[in-house]
Amino acid sequence: MTDAREGRPDKWPLKDAMITLEDCIAFCGLDKHEVGAISEHEHIPEIAATALADYLLKQPHGVEV
């Protein structure tokens, strides 16, 4: 059986799963304080700061001080 709205099996194991801020912080490679500093400096939500951090850390010379 499939869920007609989503076109996938109705017993999909992650049907109601959601990624959390803690997940995003773990994926981006910084700690929560560093993410908080980026969020405050850039005036963006912490979840967006994790994406920005991930992007910047993957750029050439992105982690040079």
Question: Does 5 fall in a domain?
Answer: no
**What's residue 34's pLDDT?**
96
Q: Which residues contact 25 (CB under 8 A, 6 or more apart)?
A: 31, 32, 35, 46, 50
pLDDT tens for each residue of 3-52: 555 565 566 666 667 899 999 999 998 999 999 999 999 999 999 999 99
Number of domains in the chain: 1
Question: Does 10 fall in a domain?
Answer: no
Question: Does 49 fall in a domain?
Answer: yes
**What's residue 8's pLDDT?**
58
Distance CA(50)–CA(33), nearest Å, equals 11
Residue numbers of the domain that contains 53: 15-57
Identify whether the C-beta of residue 37 lies closer than 8 Å to the C-beta of residue 46: no
Question: Does 1 fall in a domain?
Answer: no
Question: Does 34 fall in a domain?
Answer: yes
pTM: 0.70
